[in-house]
Amino acid sequence: MNYRHSAFYALCAAICSAAVITITSCNNKVEKINTTSEVFQVLKPVIVDTVYQEEYVAEIHALQNVEIRTRIKGIIEQIHVDEGNPVAAGQLLFTLSSRIYKEDLLKANAQLKSAAAELKSVEVEVKNIKLLVEKNIVSKTELEMVLAKKEAIQAKIEEANSAISLAKLNLSFAQIRAPFSGTINRIPNKRGSLVEEGALLTTISNNREVFAYFNLSESDYLNFVTSDKKTEFKSAHLLLANNTLYEYKGSIEISESEFDASSGNIAFRARFPNPEALLKHGGNGKIIITKPLHNAMLVPLRSTFEIQDKVFVFTVDTKNKVRQKAIVPKLRIPHFYVVEAGLTKDEIILFEGVENVKEGDQIKPEIISHEQTLIGSSKQ
């Protein structure tokens, strides 16, 4: 009884094992058939002339921005403008106390009159001495002495004229005017303040145009100076601090003559019109430069995957088997990698579905056009 039961159980176990093997074999066969019959879209790398954009941090400077400082010591008697006001070239901004300089002018004028009177007197004396010398009544020494006296008085006149000029200059310094048309900034000293010579009164900015300063590497610099016919590299856009694009396009100019030894960069500037005075001195933004790419090899991002910071694609060989292959991206643009190395233009790569295959899988490829590539990539 025990033997029969044991034989029965062994037979059942064998049948079950055979069934499992049969089912497993069937599943493997079905799976293999499904893999072989599954259709995957494939394509060749896209070779095109295109453009890409690069961003550079920029500092915004006014076309003109200068400090207005006093050239004399005095008390601020009048402030003729307010902070933020536009002013015209030559417009009166500040008036300082000028009484002492008026007194200096009066004193210098008085000295000039006194010296002029002395000169007239000595000229008469010279005339008389000459007559006496001609008649041999006095010696020539007397004439030389009176001529020396005349020269001394003439020196006094010159000194008085110089004092007058200095007094007038100091009086003019008491009235501070705008050196150019612009906008007045903060005024730290108010009316009645005593200011020393050289004290800051305000700053004035001419924001009719602005410069956006940014740095380029040596390679970018060389690309710039050798791209005379590539006008797209000579212009720039400005991304403002609130991530909005400034509406006016700027032109790029070189601003320095040597590279910075510590960074290896050279400073450039982009000149932007500023008719609405939106841009202010001291602001920040990003310069966006559109650069050309000629005969660029593009691979859709969805055709790639990463392993340990390396980028790979699946190529399809002549037997329709997929092979994992590393590529070297030069840069990344919207929806595509620009490939620097690792692929040839004639190789066929898997367009999408890289997560559904593995090395050595056999697929049924369906070639798609470049137009379909662009459409498919834009939906990513």
Tell me which residue range forms the domain holding 322.
37-48+295-378
Specify the CATH number for the domain of residue 58.
Answer: 2.40.30.170
- CATH code, 340: 2.40.420.20
Q: Is residue 10 a part of any domain in this protein?
A: no
Strands 364-367 and 39-43, sheet pairing: parallel
**pLDDT (0 to 100) of residue 37:** 55
pLDDT value of position 377: 53
Amino acid in position 354: V
pLDDT of residue 133: 77
Q: What is the pLDDT of residue 216?
A: 87
Residue 11 lies in a domain: no
Q: For residue 65, what pLDDT is reported? A: 94
Determine the Cα–Cα distance for residues 278 and 251; give it in Å rounded to an integer.
18
Spatial separation of the C-alpha atoms in residues 48 and 338, rounded to whole Å: 10
Domain boundary among 174, 201, 228: 201
Q: Are residues 197 and 232 in the same domain?
A: no
Flag whether 15 is in a domain: no
Q: How many domains does the chain have?
A: 3
User: 322-359 burial, b if ≥16 CB within 10 A, otherwise e?
Assistant: beeeebebeeebebbbbbeebbeeeebbbbbbbeebee
Question: Is 21 inside a domain boundary?
Answer: no
pLDDT digits (tens, 9 = 90+) for 139-168: 888 888 888 888 898 998 999 899 898 888
328 domain residue, yes or no = yes
One domain for residues 304 and 289:
no
Domain boundary among 244, 278, 293: 293
Give the β-pairing of 200-216 and 182-184. antiparallel
Residue 241 lies in a domain: yes
Q: Which residues of the chain have pLDDT under 70?
A: 1-37, 227-233, 371-380
Query: Which among 253, 277, 293 is the end of a domain?
Result: 293
Q: Give the CA dihedral 77, 83, 85, 90, nearest 10 degrees.
A: 40
- Asked if 96 and 195 sit in the same domain, the reply is yes
Residue at 31 is within a domain: no
pLDDT of residue 20: 38
pTM greater than the 0.75 cutoff: no
